[in-house]
Amino acid sequence: MKLKLKRPIAFFDLETTGVNVGSDRIVEIAILKAMPDGTEEIKTLRINPEMPIPLSSSLIHGIYDEDVAQEQTFKQAARELADFIGEADLAGYNSNRFDIPVLLEEFLKAGIDFDMSDRKFVDVQNIFHQMEQRTLKAAYKFYCNKEIINAHSAEADIKATYEVLLAQIERYQDTDFEDKEGKVSKPVQNDVEALHVFTNMNKPVDFAGRMVYNEEGEETFNFGKHKGKTVEQVFDIEPSYYAWMKQGDFPLYTKKKLEEIWSRWNKKKEQNKGQKAPAVNKPAAVPRPNFVNNNPQPKKEKPAAEVTNDMLEQLKMKFGK
């Protein structure tokens, strides 16, 4: 089957020093660029990450420090890679959550603003997970080879769930599982604590998932003390949070998206100021005769203003208490 394309699409995969989007680096990139006419181009580059490759990562992808010591850095290869990808859409496996944000970080560190505004993203893993449904009905058929009678009734569903778990334990209790860091274990055990650990392992704004879109399409923080609040709400009540994130250890693309929201928020503030009613012109003051008061009276001191809750809140915001 030939993929129907209106413009090129670049399938790419990264090997990296680790899985931290903000701090880990690329050691190898492979790109398959499929063209609308059916032709394909492939480019593969080893990259010097300018940092040691942890042994745990080398054991997974087989690339060691000595393998990339003489290779070009990403900054040196960035323009070549950006030109090769060109205006192509992007595709990969788990690419939306990992490969794309890591690639964006590298381009930004290299001083290249790789435009993402008009690209399409195809994550093959998402197609797999959504088409091979993970519903209770599908699980009951797969693990127990049974159909749920009275599906979606609470009692039938919970009985099926219990049977599925027993079947999963029986099937997987001696099965090796390798996580993204290359650690191998047998996590599915007949033990609630072990199952808890294994089973508790969104529309991202910044791919790293620090900010996500809520149901109203608003950018919302997905971490920390402001989790669940919209970014603009946080700017309203604690504008210093922006500076804290900009100076913090967050991915560069997260900071870039945050800066875009900050700029938009500031424009709204300026527009709101401009929409306020104009000040009424006061009548000109009547000139007073110029004379010296030989008996000046001492000025009466104004009584101290009453401390209000609003004043206390302003002091808290000012001094960060």
In a domain, 260, yes or no: yes
The beta strand positions in the chain, using DSSP E, are 9-16, 26-34, 40-46, 89-92, 121-123, 177-178, 184-185, 211-213, 219-221
Considering the domain architecture, whether residues 182 and 218 belong to the same structural domain is answered as: no
Residue 208, CA distances (Å) to 231, 242, 253, 276 in order: 16, 17, 8, 39
Q: Is residue 287 part of a domain?
A: no
User: 72 near 49, Cβ under 8 Å?
Assistant: no
| Model confidence at 144: pLDDT above 80 | yes
> Is residue 21 located within the same domain as residue 101?
yes
Burial of residue 315, with CB atoms counted within 10 A of its CB: 0-12 exposed, 13-18 middle, 19 or more buried: exposed
In a domain, 187, yes or no: yes
One domain, residues 101 and 24: yes
Distance between CA 253 and CA 271 in Å, rounded? 27
Please indicate, yes or no, if residue 289 is contained in any of the structural domains. Answer: no
Question: Does 145 score more than 90 pLDDT?
Answer: yes
* pLDDT exceeds cutoff 80 at 295: no
CATH number at residue 116: 3.30.420.10
pLDDT for 292 beyond 50: no
Q: Say whether both 230 and 119 belong to one domain.
A: no
Q: Residue 279 falls within a domain, yes or no?
A: no
pLDDT at residue 107 is higher than 70: yes
Cross-strand bridge partners of residue 91: 11, 122
Is 89 found in the same domain as 15?
yes
* 295 located within any domain: no
Q: Is the dihedral of CA 108, 226, 98, 132 positive or negative?
A: negative
Is residue 304, in this structure, part of any structural domain at all? no
Give the number of domains in the chain: 3
pLDDT digit string, tens, across residues 52-64: 999 888 988 999 9
Judgement on whether residues 14 and 125 belong to the same structural domain of the protein: yes
Q: Are residues 147 and 225 in the same domain?
A: no
**Residue 201 above 50 pLDDT?**
no
Neighbours of 22 (CB within 10 A): 17
* Per-range mean pLDDT, top range of 20-29, 156-165, 194-203: 20-29
Nearest to 75 by CA among 103, 111, 114: 111
pLDDT for 200: 46
Could you give the CA distance from residue 172 to residue 318 in angstroms, rounded to a whole number?
A: 56
Above 70 in pLDDT, residue 298? no
Range in 93-107, 146-160, 257-271, 283-297 with the lowest mean pLDDT: 283-297
pTM exceeding the 0.95 threshold for the entire prediction: no
Mean pLDDT of 200-229: 82
Q: Are residues 148 and 80 part of one domain?
A: no
Q: Mark whether 14 and 124 lie in a shared domain.
A: yes
The reply to whether 69 falls in a domain is yes
Which tens digits make up the pLDDT trace of 2-38? 888 999 999 999 999 998 888 899 999 999 999 999 9
Percentage of the chain lying above the pLDDT 90 cut: 48
| pLDDT-derived band at 148, boundaries 50, 70, 90 | confident
Instruction: Let me know how many helices (H) and strands (E) the chain has, helices first.
Output: 12, 9
Domain closes at, from 234, 255, 273: 273
Matching residue, tokens 């599982």: 177
In this structure, the dihedral spanned by the alpha carbons of residues 149, 155, 159 and 161, taken in order and rounded to 10 degrees, is 90
Q: What mean pLDDT comes out for the span 116-141?
A: 86
pLDDT band at 154 (very low <50, low <70, confident <90, very high): confident
Does residue 21 sit in the same domain as residue 119?
A: yes
The domain containing residue 244 runs over which residues?
211-273
**Mean pLDDT computed over 200-224:** 81
- Statement: residue 136 has pLDDT above 70: yes
Same domain? For 18 and 106 the reply is: yes
Per DSSP bridges, beta strands 40-46 and 26-34 are: antiparallel
Does 195 share its domain with 99? no
Q: What is the mean pLDDT of the chain?
A: 84
